[in-house]
Chain A
C-alpha cells in the first residue's frame, strides 16, 4: 500500500541558508504524525513547502502516488491538503461566516464532508462577527475551521496549541483526536509534549533541517540523540 503523503528528500534553501537539508517522511491514511524539533529546525518551513507556500529547492512530494511537488496552495487545497498557520491567519476583513463561505469545497468528498465546521470548533455563536473582534484563541479555532471547510485528507497543524489556556488546549486536543478518528491524516507541529501525546501516535524529530528520529513519541523522549538535541547535553 502506498502512503497517503510521501515526502522524499525535500530540501529548501534561502540563499546561503539551508532551512531543510533533505527530509523524507511518509504519512499513512488516517495517521497522526507529530513533527517536533528545536526552534529553527525547519518544521514550519517543511509545512510551508508541503502546503504550497514555498516551492522546494529539491525533492519530491507525492499525494496518493501523484506528484504534487511545488503545486500552488489553491491546487493543493483542491486535492485535499490543508493547514493552519502558526500565527493564525484568518481573513481579518471578513466575518467568521465569510471566512468559511470563501472555501468552495462542494465537490470534494472527504472525511469531514458532513461536518458543520463552525459548530465543530464551537464558533457558531460568533459567525456574524468580524475576525478582528475575535480573541486570539478564537482566531486559531477559525483558522482550523477554515482548513476543515476544504475537507482535507491531510491537515498540517502548525502549533495550534501555542498560547492557549489549559482548557483551550484540552478542547483543541479533543478536536484533533476527533478528526483523526474520522480518518483525517494529521501532521502536528507542537512544542507541548503533553498536548502532542494526546493526539499523535508517531513522531518525526527534525534538527537543523533534517530528520534525526522517527518512531513512537515514547521512544523519542528516551532516545539519547533526541535528548542531546533538545537539552544540549549527552544523556
Chain B
C-alpha cells in the first residue's frame, strides 16, 4: 500500500541522499502539509498564519527544554500541547470565513512573533540555544515515525464519521448541522488536530536547529510552502500532501538554494499551472477518491468546446 511505501522511502532516505538536515526538514514539511490538509482540505479554512502554530510548537518545546530540562520526547509532547493551547485561544477565529479567516490567522501568527521576539524570557534578543538531545540520525528516525503516525491519523480521519462530518461541513454547514453534525465542535477538533501536527513539527525543528532567532520559526514563507505543498499534491487525500512536499521541496533543494531567483520563477509558474490545470493537485491526475481524473475532464471540456463531443454526465 502506498503509505507503507512512503514510509519505506523516507526510512531509506539517508541511503539515497545522505543529507539528514534536508531529509528531516522534508519530514517536518510533510507534517505541516498534512496539518494544512486537515484544516484546509477537510474544512475549507485556509490558515495563512499556520506558521504561528509551528512557532508555538518551537517555542513551547524549546522553553520546556531550557527551563524544565525535559527530555526530547517530552519536548515533542509539550510542543504539541503549546500549539493546541494556541489553537484553543484562536478557535473563535473559526467564526470568520474565507479571506477574513486567512488574514486573522496571519495577524495572530505575527502577534505571537512580536511577543516571542521581544520578551527576555523567550530569549528574544539573545536567541534560543538548545542542548543537543538527539543525534541527527536519531532525530530523523523520530521524524519518520512522526510522519508514519500522522499518515495513520489522517487515514483514520478520512475514513471515519469525523472525516465525513468535516467534508459535509465543508460542503454546506447548514445542511450538515441538520444532518446532526455539531459544526462548531467538529471544526474545532480539526483545527486543534492541525495545530498539534504543527506543534510536533515545531518541536522537531527546534531540536534539529538548536540555535535560532524568532525570525526563522515565524517566517511566513513556511505557511506558504506548507499550503502550496499540500495543494500541489492534492488535499483531502492522505498521499497528496506527502507527494507535493517531496516533489516541491526536493526541487527547492535542487535549484532553490544555489539559484533562488530561478526557483522563485519556476515556483510561480508551477502555482499558475496548478491553479489553471490541476486544481485538485497531483493526486487528481490518477483520479483519486473515485473521481474521473482531472486531465480527462479537461480533455472532455476542450473537445466539447469544439463541438465534437458532449461530456458524459452532468457538470460538477
Q: Which of A1-9, A37-45, A101-109, A226-234 contacts B (4 or more CB under 8 A)?
A: A101-109
A83→B180 CA distance, assembly (Å):
12
B120 contacts partner chain A, Cβ-Cβ < 8 Å: no
Chain B residue at minimum C-beta to C-beta distance from A143: B175
- State whether A102 touches B165 (Cβ < 8 A): yes
A91 and B180 contact, Cβ closer than 8 Å, known pairs A98-B164, A104-B161, A133-B314:
no
Choose one: A78, A93, A135; the contact of B171 (CB below 8 Å): A93
Q: Is B5 interfacial (CB 8 A cutoff)? A: no
Closest to A149 in B: B179
Question: CA of A74 to CA of B316 in the docked complex: distance in angstroms?
Answer: 28
Residues of A contacting B164 in the complex (Cβ-Cβ under 8 angstroms): 94, 98, 101-102
C-alpha gap A174/B101 in the complex (Å) = 46
Across the interface, which residues of B come within 8 angstroms of A91, CB to CB?
A: 167-168, 171-172, 175-176, 179
CB of A146 within 8 A of CB of B314, answer no
Which residues of chain B come closer than 8 Å to A56, judged between CB atoms? none
**Chain B residues, CB < 8 A from A130:** 316
Q: Is residue A31 within 8 Å, beta carbon to beta carbon, of the partner chain?
A: no
A residues within 8 A CB of B161?
101-102, 104
Q: Are B177 and A94 in contact (CB under 8 A)?
A: no
B316 A85 Cβ-Cβ under 8 A: no
Partner of B178, one of A73, A93, A133, A135: A73
Contact A74 B171, CB 8 Å, known A98-B164, A102-B165: no
The bracket for how many chain A residues form the interface is 20 to 34
- On chain B, which size bracket covers the interface? 20 to 34
- B180 and A92 within 8 A (CB): no
Q: Is A113 an interface position by the 8 A CB rule?
A: no
Interface of B, helix, strand, loop or mixed by DSSP: helix
Q: Pick the residue among A83, A133, A147 that contacts B316 (CB under 8 A).
A: A133
Chain B residue with the shortest CB-CB distance to A98:
B164
Cβ contacts under 8 Å, A85 to chain B = 174-175
Contact partner, B174, options A82, A89, A135, A150, Cβ 8 Å = A89
CB pair B177–A73 under 8 Å, yes or no, is yes
Residue A209 CB within 8 A of the other chain = no
User: A85's closest neighbor in chain B, by CB?
Assistant: B175
Asked if A90 is an interface residue, CB under 8 A from chain B, the answer is yes
Query: A17-61 CB contact bits vs B (8 Å, 1 = yes)?
Result: 000000000000000000000000000000000011100000000
Complex A-B: 15 CB contacts under 8 Å? A53-B177, A72-B177, A74-B178, A74-B181, A90-B175, A91-B168, A93-B168, A94-B168, A102-B180, A102-B181, A103-B180, A104-B180, A130-B316, A132-B315, A149-B179
Which residues of A are in contact with B by a Cβ distance under 8 Å?
A: 51-53, 72-74, 77-78, 82-83, 85, 89-94, 98-99, 101-105, 130, 132-133, 135, 146-147, 149-150
Q: A52-B178, A101-B164, A102-B168 are in contact. List 10 more A-B contacts (CB 8 A).
A: A72-B177, A74-B178, A74-B180, A83-B178, A85-B175, A91-B168, A102-B179, A102-B180, A132-B314, A150-B178
Q: Which 7 A-B pairs have the closest CB atoms?
A: A73-B177, A132-B316, A89-B175, A77-B180, A91-B171, A93-B171, A103-B179
